[in-house]
């Protein structure tokens, strides 16, 4: 955005004039809020904040005051004070002073306040070998791409361990390794239940595996949390964070991923290894672990709007796929050979018949594309939603949105050879593979985050802005709504939750739906001022997304909670206003005492009928190829190949299980000496169980475990 005059309106107001307003102020004393009632801090990019903004719009039928005061940009104390005064003035004019404003917690639909404590008995109990192989198969299919938190060596060790169990041989197993195993089982069990697999775990089996891992890690003991870094500990905490994400405990997940990243940084995983004594496959597995942690944190940051523990300036480790070596190629071929071992477990879920070599190639390229998008997403959240970004002017924010949009489209040209219409058509006949569906969804998700600040009545907020600025605001808001409609178009008209969990971002499935739903609802509340098309299409897409939440809530409590929050917000509007703006309006069900929506009108072909987004270059000229493996080497994200130091134990995997002096306590990275004193010497819980692994009695395929163990849910060990 350019202008010959420095005195135009967009240069004289703070960037907080957009819909992500008041980034630099906290208006709740969260430390004085009852723990059971607070969800903690949520940034402006969180959907809880978007839903709160939506409710204020549906309640303010007269609209917001025109040309409210947003004051000048600036980083000085005086500038901050003036923006605070302007905030108080806007609140008084709108009648929403902080004393009467709802907390963002009221719109928080995640489940951190849900009690998941259970009694598990002996944490050393393990399932039968057949059950374990099934759970690991689900885990590998659902998590390795894009979160490869456990390496190929762990899989080899697990196979040795299970083979020895079949032979009734007792293995010397380190508690941390067994904790990793249980968390893998927990995530696999959760996934198998969501996709309604032919063989699946019970709906609460994952809790049992999770609590076994927590006790094996001794996380009740503060000393365990601040111990020296170990690879298995980093993997275990990272897996626990991912597990919490999959069950909707995102605040707990955010805490745990921060802890895993701190341990990883203490081990130097954020740096590029150049010690010749470290094998290439070892370097690659450590790099994959680091980027998996990075990706999990990226998802959580987008959900909660909280700061990240990772700074881009501190990282030099290359993303997966950027360094191709003969050793790495052999490692990938070995991994590909193992695919067939577990493929039979989940073949009915994926429905894919792609060859092994092609699958391995696609996974390599997908990992590179996904990490590049993660890096860009970090720039988006830091550039538009971090607190100090309100010190720049709205004109500066427009320039940032332009730059980020150009970067996103450059990524799309390299990673998405098909346009939105082709992708939606492929979704209808299920010909779009899982990896490409994920990339499309996350592409639209990133576009929504870039353009979301313009989805408000900017012409009524900025005095004397230039025509160029007004056009930019209008087109950017249209791009946001178009991206949300594109997400809706990627989903089949008839909800199929098993398909979505099997092929989509099952770890944050509700988040992706809400990411599209909230801007569409806000646009409807604004009477579709940014669109020139019939608003009935927007309404039908909103109803379609709500229908998906309704379908998913039968197996996922997060979806049910989100559905209820949306229902609550929409019920605050007057029926005549809803009819005028074509907003969905909940119907009261006297039989159930709940609010439900009317049936979704069937509109065949509607999901491809409207595409507002456009690429900077004709789609037919795109090269139908993934980005090359070495393209990321030139990215400015990695300033130099700083050498780290690592000393792996090169003993064969089987030796860890059978050696008299090694056992499993040496898996991966050896323990590093503590670099600070630790005054904590007593544990909070002592587990005196026999270390010999005991098989779950009677836990056969298709049946859950808790029915055999008589678990009492609610009142077990605290986390």
Q: Check if the beta carbon of residue 123 is closer than 8 Å to that of residue 689.
A: yes
Residue 44 in domain: yes
Task: Please give the share of the chain, as a percent, with pLDDT higher than 90.
Answer: 38
The counts of H helices and E strands in the chain are: 23, 4
Q: How far apart are CA 111 and CA 207, in angstroms?
A: 14
Tokens of 462: 């900025």
| Residue 416 banded pLDDT, cuts 50, 70, 90 | confident
Neighbours of 470 (CB within 10 A): 15
**What does the pLDDT read at residue 703?**
43
Spatial CA neighbour of 174 closest among 244, 249, 124: 124
How far apart (Å, rounded) are the C-alpha atoms in residues 442 and 509? 12
If asked whether residues 613 and 565 sit together in one domain, one would say yes
Give yes or no: residues 448 and 519 share one domain. yes
Q: What gap in Å lies between CA 315 and CA 334, rounded to an integer?
A: 29
Ramachandran sector of residue 12 (left: φ over 0; alpha: ψ -120 to 50; beta: rest)? alpha
Cα separation of 536 and 575, whole Å? 17
Cis peptide, bond prior to residue 146, ω within 30 of zero: yes
Q: Identify whether residues 664 and 527 lie together within a single domain.
A: no
Highest averaged pLDDT of the listed ranges 2-16, 60-74, 133-147: 133-147
Beta-bridge partners for 587 = 596
Top-confidence residue, 291 or 593: 291
Write down the pLDDT at residue 452: 94
Would 576 be classed as within a structural domain? Answer: yes
pLDDT for residue 582: 79
Buried b (16+ CB within 10 A) or exposed e, 598-626: eebeeeeebbebbebbeeeeebeebeeeb
Of 23-37, 117-131, 692-706, least confident by mean pLDDT is: 692-706
- The rounded percent of the chain whose pLDDT value lies above 70 is 62
In 3D space, the residue among 297, 386, 308, 304 whose CA is nearest the CA of residue 48 turns out to be 304
Can you tell me the distance from the alpha carbon of 512 to that of 488, in angstroms, rounded to the nearest whole number?
A: 10
96 and 241 fall within a common domain: no
Q: Residue 460 to residues 9, 375, 532: CA-CA distances in angstroms?
A: 12, 35, 19
**537-546 CB burial, b ≥16 within 10 A, e <16:** bbbbbbbbbb
Q: CA-CA distances (angstroms) from residue 360 to 332, 364, 433, 561?
A: 7, 6, 14, 38
Q: Are residues 106 and 136 in the same domain?
A: no
Burial class (CB in 10 A: 0-12, 13-18, 19+), 639: exposed
Q: Tell me if 533 is assigned to some domain.
A: yes
Residues 428 and 557 occupy one common structural domain: yes
pLDDT tens per residue, range 19-56: 656 555 566 666 666 655 567 777 888 888 888 888 88
From 170-174, 375-379, 568-572, 667-671, the region with the lowest mean pLDDT: 667-671
Which pLDDT score, from 0 to 100, does residue 425 have?
65
Is 698 a member of any domain?
A: no
Q: Which two tokens stand for residue 95?
A: 């009648």
User: What is the residue range of 131's domain?
Assistant: 126-247+654-692
Residue 190 within a domain: yes
Give the tokens for residue 329: 């190629």
Average pLDDT over residues 150-161: 93
Does the residue 19 lie in any domain?
Answer: yes
Which residue stretches of 174-322 are H helix?
175-194, 205-217, 222-225, 231-246, 250-266, 280-304
CA 143 to CA 149: how far, in whole Å? 8
Task: State the maximum Cα–Cα separation within the chain, in Å, rounded to a whole number.
Answer: 81
- Cα(119)–Cα(97) distance, rounded to whole angstroms? 46
Q: Name the nearest CA neighbour of 188 among 136, 246, 132, 249.
A: 136
Please give the residue that has the higher pLDDT: either 304 or 356: 304
End-to-end Cα spacing for the chain: 51
Residues 106 and 131 in one domain: no
With vertex at residue 460, the alpha carbon angle to CA 457 and CA 466, rounded to the nearest 5 degrees, is: 100
Model pLDDT, residue 423: 66
Are 21 and 60 part of one and the same domain? yes
Which residues are paired to 605 by β-bridges? none
Provide the CA 149 distance to its chain's centre, in angstroms: 15
Angle subtended by helix axes 420-428 and 434-451, to nearest 10: 140
Cα–Cα–Cα angle for 183, 187, 189, rounded to 5 degrees: 110
Tokens of 392: 């720049």
pLDDT band, very low/low/confident/very high, at 464 (cuts 50, 70, 90): confident
Phi, psi of 687, deg, nearest 5: -115, 115
Task: Answer whether residue 710 is part of any domain.
Answer: no
Matching residue, tokens 């420095």: 6
**576 and 609 housed in the same domain:** yes
Same domain, 51 and 164: no
- Note whether residue 364 is domain-resident: no
Of the candidates 548, 448, 451, 537, the one whose C-alpha atom is nearest the C-alpha of residue 491 is 548
Inter-residue contact 212 to 126 (CB < 8 Å): no
Angle, vertex CA 531, rays to CA 21 and CA 563, nearest 5: 65
For the chain, how many structural domains are there in total?
2
Of 155 and 619, which is predicted with more confidence? Answer: 155
- pLDDT tens digits, residue range 344-365? 444 444 444 444 555 555 666 8
Q: Are residues 240 and 379 in the same domain?
A: no
The pair of three-digit structure tokens given for residue 623, joined into one six-digit string: 């090269």
**CB-based burial, 184-210: b 16+ in 10 Å, e otherwise:** bbbbbbbbbbbbebebbbbebbbbbbb
What three-state secondary structure class fits 539? helix
The mean per-residue pLDDT over the stretch 675-693 comes to 35
Under the banding of pLDDT at 50, 70 and 90, the label for residue 223 is confident
In this predicted model, what pLDDT tens digit does every residue of 568-594 receive, in sequence order?
A: 998 888 777 777 777 787 764 333 334
Q: Which two tokens stand for residue 146?
A: 């894009």
pLDDT greater than 80 at residue 523? yes
Cβ(113)–Cβ(681) below 8 Å: no
Average pLDDT of the residues of the chain: 73
Q: Which of 226-235, 318-327, 431-440, 483-492 has the highest mean pLDDT?
A: 483-492
**Together in a domain, 572 and 659:** no
């Amino acid at each position: 955005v350019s202008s010959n005059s420095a005195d135009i309106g967009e240069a004289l107001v703070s960037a907080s004039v957009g819909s992500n307003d008041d980034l630099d102020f906290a208006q709740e004393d969260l430390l004085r809020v009852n723990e059971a009632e607070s969800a903690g801090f949520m940034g402006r990019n969180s959907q809880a904040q978007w839903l709160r903004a939506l409710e204020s719009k549906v309640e303010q039928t007269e609209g917001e005051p025109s040309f409210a005061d947003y004051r000048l940009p600036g980083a000085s104390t005086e500038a901050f004070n003036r923006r605070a005064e302007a905030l108080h003035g806007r609140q008084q004019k709108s009648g929403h002073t902080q004393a009467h404003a709802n907390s963002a917690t009221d719109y928080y639909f995640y489940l951190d306040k849900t009690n998941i404590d259970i009694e598990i008995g002996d944490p050393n109990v393990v399932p039968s070998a057949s059950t374990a192989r099934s759970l690991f198969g689900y885990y590998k299919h659902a998590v390795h791409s894009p979160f490869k938190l456990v390496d190929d060596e762990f899989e080899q060790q697990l196979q040795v361990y299970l083979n020895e169990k079949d032979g009734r041989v007792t293995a010397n197993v380190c508690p941390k390794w067994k904790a990793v195993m249980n968390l893998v089982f927990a995530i696999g069990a959760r996934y198998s239940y969501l996709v309604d697999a032919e063989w699946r775990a019970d709906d609460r089996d994952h809790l049992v595996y999770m609590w076994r891992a927590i006790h094996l890690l001794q996380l009740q003991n503060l000393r365990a949390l601040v111990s020296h870094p170990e690879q298995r500990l980093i993997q275990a905490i990272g897996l626990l964070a991912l597990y919490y994400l999959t069950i909707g405990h995102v605040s707990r997940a955010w805490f745990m991923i921060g802890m895993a990243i701190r341990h990883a940084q203490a081990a130097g995983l954020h740096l590029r290894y150049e010690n010749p004594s470290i094998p290439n496959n070892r370097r690659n597995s450590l790099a994959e672990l680091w980027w998996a942690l990075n990706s999990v944190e990226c998802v959580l940051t987008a959900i909660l709007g909280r700061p990240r523990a990772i700074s881009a300036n501190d990282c030099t480790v290359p993303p997966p796929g950027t360094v191709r070596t003969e050793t790495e190629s052999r490692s990938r071929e070995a991994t590909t050979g193992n695919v067939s071992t577990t493929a039979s477990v989940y073949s009915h879920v994926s429905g894919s018949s792609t060859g092994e070599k092609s699958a391995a190639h696609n996974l390599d390229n997908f990992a590179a594309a996904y990490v590049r998008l993660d890096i860009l997403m970090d720039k988006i959240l830091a550039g538009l939603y971090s607190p100090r970004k309100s010190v720049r002017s709205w004109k500066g924010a427009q320039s940032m949105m332009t730059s980020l949009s150009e970067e996103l489209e450059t990524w799309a040209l390299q990673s998405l050879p098909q346009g939105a219409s082709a992708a939606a058509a492929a979704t209808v006949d299920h010909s779009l593979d899982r990896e490409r569906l994920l990339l499309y969804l996350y592409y639209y998700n990133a576009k929504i985050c870039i353009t979301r600040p313009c989805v408000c009545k900017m012409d009524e907020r900025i005095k004397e802005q230039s025509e160029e600025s007004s056009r930019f605001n209008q087109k950017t808001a249209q791009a946001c709504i178009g991206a949300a409609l594109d997400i809706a178009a990627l989903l089949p008209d008839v909800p199929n939750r098993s398909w979505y969990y099997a092929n989509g971002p099952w770890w944050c499935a509700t988040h992706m739906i809400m990411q599209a739903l909230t801007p569409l609802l806000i646009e409807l509340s604004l009477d579709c001022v940014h669109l020139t098309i019939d608003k009935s299409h927007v309404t039908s897409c909103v109803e379609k997304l709500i229908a998906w939440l309704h379908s998913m809530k039968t197996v996922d409590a997060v979806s049910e909670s989100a559905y209820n929050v949306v229902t609550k917000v929409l019920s605050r509007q007057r029926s005549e206003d809803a009819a005028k703006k074509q907003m969905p309006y909940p119907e009261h069900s006297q039989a159930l005492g709940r609010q439900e929506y009317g049936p979704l009108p069937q509109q065949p072909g509607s999901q491809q009928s409207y595409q507002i987004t456009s690429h900077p270059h004709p789609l037919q000229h795109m090269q139908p190829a993934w980005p090359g493996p070495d393209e990321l080497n030139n990215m400015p994200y990695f300033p130099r190949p700083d050498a780290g130091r690592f000393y792996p134990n090169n003993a064969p995997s089987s030796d860890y299980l059978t050696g008299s002096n090694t056992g499993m306590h040496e898996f991966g990275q050896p323990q590093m000496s503590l670099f600070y004193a630790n005054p904590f010497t007593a544990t909070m819980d002592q587990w005196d169980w026999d270390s010999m692994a005991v098989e779950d009695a009677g836990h056969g395929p298709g049946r859950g475990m808790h029915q055999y163990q008589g678990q009492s849910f609610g009142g077990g060990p605290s986390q």
